[in-house]
């Protein structure tokens, strides 16, 4: 277990323990218990094998390439073959190797290379590949209907969303995260290629500038609205909370998901130009936080707990009733929490001269029915931020537990 823990990681966590006021004790204890290994430096590999999939509590890398596939083969055996091929390729690529055994330049000159080559010479860059299975995979095609976890219940419609079906859903998703965008793109490109004829890419999304920290060793980043995002996120060090809020436990649902987790994705377009014209005070009132420090409007430091009861001289709550921090806070949802792992996105401009940009929201959780759904219901009804955002895509996936060794593969227990 200690092999995945480097000196640099120890140092990082120690420093974080100081910064994470109020949670230091939890962090220190959890460190010994949670053997989720992660990259020591941004270029090092992250172990692929383990009880949980990497790429969830792994400290969020800087870059994302997310892809959703439709399965087009009608044969279950072909799908299982593909999952095995993918797992082998993923195990190689996350360790900085080529996708196939011959590699980009080692094969026969007449044959197309079994790796596309654009990652040659690049370090592993903390690449993680994380797979999830969407509700549509559990239809009649592969006889999986009785294995669909109850927690993988279709999300309800939320007020104000304008979902585009062509960039929503999917039978299978793969999240590639890395500290080098070329490494993330390379991984998805090679998986898509291996999948030709069996799966078809439904949509994919590039992201940059992680918008959440998933470890106390990381500073809280900013979203494209300029605010610190994910201050109160579930983090790698919060072992007890991860157990309660992140990982599916025996008895939660079908046993193939034990040790897995559920992913909700939402592409949230931001109306950047109108937001930029909003006065600073309005922006801060909408989030309920100070734009500079990230502190709640009732406090001074980023990690100060917000005081939702505190009233200003005018007798109104300092943090308004419609503020994002109030509505999204665990206190408003019986303690429900998410492990958020979203990324900023910019898909160029939209033809009207506006930045086509926003947040590709991704959140991992133990049961979306008790976590994402109630939180989003509240937000979609009341959040002052809604004036500046629009949800344009939605995805829901059951992410199985980790691949334990080279004899195992993604989803083995599901198809067993």
289 CA to centre of own chain: 23
In the complex with another protein, the residue whose CB is nearer, 165 or 321, is 165
CB of 97 to another protein, least distance (A): 21
In the complex with another protein, the residue whose CB is nearer, 72 or 392, is 72
Alpha helices (runs of H) in 108-252, residue ranges in sequence order: 181-195, 239-245
Q: Is 108 in the site for another protein (CB under 8 A)?
A: yes
In the complex with another protein, the residue whose CB is nearer, 101 or 159, is 101
- Looking at 112, 334, 348, 351, which residue binds another protein (CB under 8 A)? 112
DSSP helix/strand/coil, 358: strand
Give the span between the Cα atoms of 132 and 259, in whole angstroms: 13
Stretch that binds another protein, among 32-40, 102-110, 315-323, 398-406 (CB under 8 A): 102-110
- Looking at 107, 209, 320, 330, which residue binds another protein (CB under 8 A)? 107
In the complex with another protein, the residue whose CB is nearer, 82 or 129, is 82
Q: Is 196 in the site for another protein (CB under 8 A)?
A: yes
CA distances from 212 to 1, 28, 39 (A): 27, 21, 17
Stretch that binds another protein, among 14-22, 105-113, 138-146, 250-258 (CB under 8 A): 105-113
Phi-psi region for residue 121, left (φ > 0), alpha (ψ -120 to 50) or beta? left
Stretch that binds another protein, among 192-200, 250-258, 323-331, 343-351 (CB under 8 A): 192-200
Whether 192 and 65 have beta carbons less than 8 Å apart is answered as: no
In degrees, rounded to 5, the angle at the alpha carbon of residue 60 between the alpha carbons of residues 212 and 57 is: 100
Stretch that binds another protein, among 191-199, 226-234, 321-329, 347-355 (CB under 8 A): 191-199
Helix axes 7-19, 24-33, angle to 10 degrees: 160
Half-sphere exposure of 328 toward its Cβ, with a 13 Å CA cutoff? 21
In the complex with another protein, the residue whose CB is nearer, 7 or 74, is 74
CB of 267 to another protein, least distance (A): 19
Contact positions with another protein (CB under 8 A) in 54-73: 72
Q: Is 11 in the site for another protein (CB under 8 A)?
A: no
176 CA to centre of own chain: 10
Q: Is 197 in the site for another protein (CB under 8 A)?
A: yes
Stretch that binds another protein, among 167-175, 196-204, 233-241, 260-268 (CB under 8 A): 196-204
3-state secondary structure 43-82: CCCCCCCCCCCCCCCCCCCCEEEEEEEEECCCCHHHHHHH
- Beta pairing partners, 206: 65
Q: Is 88 in the site for another protein (CB under 8 A)?
A: no
Binding site for another protein (CB under 8 A): 72, 107-112, 166, 193, 196-198, 200
């Amino acid at each position: 277990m200690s092999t995945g823990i480097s000196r640099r990681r120890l140092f990082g966590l120690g420093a974080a323990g100081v910064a994470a006021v109020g949670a230091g004790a939890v962090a220190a204890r959890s460190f010994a218990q949670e053997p989720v290994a992660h990259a020591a430096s941004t270029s090092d590999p992250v172990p692929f094998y383990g009880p949980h999939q990497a790429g969830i509590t792994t400290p969020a890398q800087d870059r994302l390439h997310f892809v959703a596939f439709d399965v087009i083969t009608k044969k279950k055996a072909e799908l299982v073959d593909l999952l095995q091929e993918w797992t082998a390729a993923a195990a190689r690529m996350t360790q900085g190797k080529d996708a196939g055994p011959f590699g980009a330049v080692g094969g026969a000159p007449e044959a197309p290379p079994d790796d596309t080559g654009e990652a040659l010479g690049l370090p592993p860059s903390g690449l993680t590949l994380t797979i999830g299975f969407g509700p549509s995979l559990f239809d009649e095609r592969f006889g999986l209907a009785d294995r669909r976890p109850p927690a993988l219940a279709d999300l309800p419609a939320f007020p104000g969303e304008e979902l585009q079906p062509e960039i929503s859903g999917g039978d299978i998703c793969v999240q590639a995260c890395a500290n080098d965008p070329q490494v993330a793109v390379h991984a998805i490109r090679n998986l898509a290629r291996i999948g030709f004829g069996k799966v078809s890419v439904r949509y994919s999304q590039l992201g940059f500038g992680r918008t959440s920290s998933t470890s106390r060793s990381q500073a809280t980043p900013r979203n494209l609205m300029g605010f610190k995002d994910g201050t109160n996120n579930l983090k790698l060090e919060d072992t007890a909370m991860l157990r309660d809020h992140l990982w599916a436990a025996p008895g939660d649902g079908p046993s193939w998901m034990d040790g897995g987790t559920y992913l909700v994705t939402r592409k949230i377009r931001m109306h950047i130009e109108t937001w930029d014209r909003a006065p600073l005070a309005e922006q801060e009132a909408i989030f309920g936080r100070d734009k500079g420090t990230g502190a709640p409007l009732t406090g001074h430091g980023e990690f100060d707990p917000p005081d939702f009861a505190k009233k200003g001289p005018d007798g109104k709550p300092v943090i308004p009733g419609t503020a994002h921090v109030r509505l999204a806070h665990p206190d408003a949802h019986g303690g429900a929490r998410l492990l958020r792992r979203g990324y900023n996105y910019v898909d160029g401009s939209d033809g009207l001269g506006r930045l086509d940009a926003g947040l590709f929201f991704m959140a991992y959780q133990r049961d979306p029915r008790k976590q994402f759904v109630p939180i989003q219901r509240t937000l979609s009804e009341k959040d002052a931020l809604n004036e500046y955002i629009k949800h344009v895509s939605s995805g829901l996936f059951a992410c199985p537990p980790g691949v334990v060794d080279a004899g195992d593969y993604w989803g083995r227990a599901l198809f067993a």
